[in-house]
């Protein structure tokens, strides 16, 4: 196993220790969240009693394969704890997410969660967000219009493609991956993006994170941030 994979697994296993019996647990999407789902599956098979809510169809399938009981989001007013990955994070708890295309579900579930634990390998830590392009979920027919508006915000976007076809989210929307350079004021940018017609959601997660657990070599570093 590569060092990066080891760091992901270490962070994921450390996060799973925060789960207690009878909790509603949000399950993230991506290669780091995968390790958390595997560990939760193991604990469920050993008698842990929780219900989980997945952040994507992919995670839903994984959780079902692991025998993790699932609950519908419509039935919930709050989630106790969510464990999810990130594409970039700062020690202050600012994130870029959506590399896996699940940012809309992830943001809904993060906003419903009392505690959000982000798990990552050490390559994800940055001083300033923006090296990773910001994923922006858009209504397909508004793509061209949103790309033009983003240019006015100094954002250079490309429509996400996978294997030669346009990537579609679980909701049937498209993703623009947008380069804003290093982002001096993520809150101001998030406000601009929130105001763009045709944008469904964006990958700047600025006030949801409670704790980040980052694998580094053989250990796990913890960064805490209070949810506003
Ligand atoms: O936001 C996400 C999916 O939409 C993922 O959490 C993010 O892309 C990190 O993925 P990985 O753990 O595979 O690096």
pLDDT in tens, 128-156: 999 999 999 999 999 999 999 999 999 99
Q: For this structure, is 7 an active site residue?
A: no
Q: Give, in words, the CATH class of 3-126+206-224.
A: alpha beta
Which residue is catalytic, options 39, 106, 137, 201? Answer: 106
> Whole-angstrom Cα distance, residue 111 to residue 131?
25
Is 3 annotated as ligand-binding? no
**Ligand 1 pocket, residue 5 CB under 6 Å:** no
Task: Work out the average pLDDT over 13-25.
Answer: 98
Residue 76 in this model has a pLDDT that exceeds 70: yes
Mean pLDDT score of the chain: 97
Is 169 annotated as ligand-binding? no
Instruction: Enumerate the domain spans of the chain.
Output: 3-126+206-224, 134-202
Which pTM was predicted? 0.97
> Whole-angstrom Cα distance, residue 94 to residue 209?
8
Is 99 annotated as ligand-binding? yes
CATH of domain 134-202: 3.30.70.260
Q: How many CB atoms lie within 10 A of CB 179?
A: 15
d(CA 71, ligand 1 centre) in Å: 22
> 172: closest CA among 148, 200, 133, 149?
200
């Amino acid at each position: 196993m590569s060092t990066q994979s080891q760091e992901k697994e270490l962070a994921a296993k450390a996060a799973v220790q925060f789960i207690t019996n009878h909790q509603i647990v949000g399950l993230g999407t991506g290669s780091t969240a995968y390790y958390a789902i595997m560990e939760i599956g193991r604990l469920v098979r050993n008698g842990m009693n929780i219900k989980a809510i997945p952040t994507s169809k992919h995670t839903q399938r994984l959780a079902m394969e692991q025998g993790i009981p699932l609950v519908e989001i419509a039935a919930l007013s709050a989630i106790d704890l969510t464990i999810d990955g990130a594409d970039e994070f700062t020690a202050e708890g600012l994130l870029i997410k959506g590399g896996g295309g699940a940012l809309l579900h992830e943001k809904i579930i993060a906003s419903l969660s009392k505690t959000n634990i982000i798990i990552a390998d050490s390559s994800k830590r940055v001083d300033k967000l923006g090296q990773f392009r910001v994923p922006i979920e858009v209504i397909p027919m508004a793509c061209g219009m949103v790309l033009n508006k983003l240019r006015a915000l100094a954002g250079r976007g490309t429509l996400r493609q996978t294997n030669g076809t346009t990537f579609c989210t679980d909701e049937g929307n498209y993703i623009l991956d947008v380069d804003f350079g290093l982002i001096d004021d993520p809150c101001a940018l998030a406000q601009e993006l929130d105001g763009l017609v045709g944008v469904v959601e964006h990958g700047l997660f600025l006030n949801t994170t409670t704790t980040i657990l980052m694998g580094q070599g053989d250990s796990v570093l913890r960064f805490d941030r209070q949810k506003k």
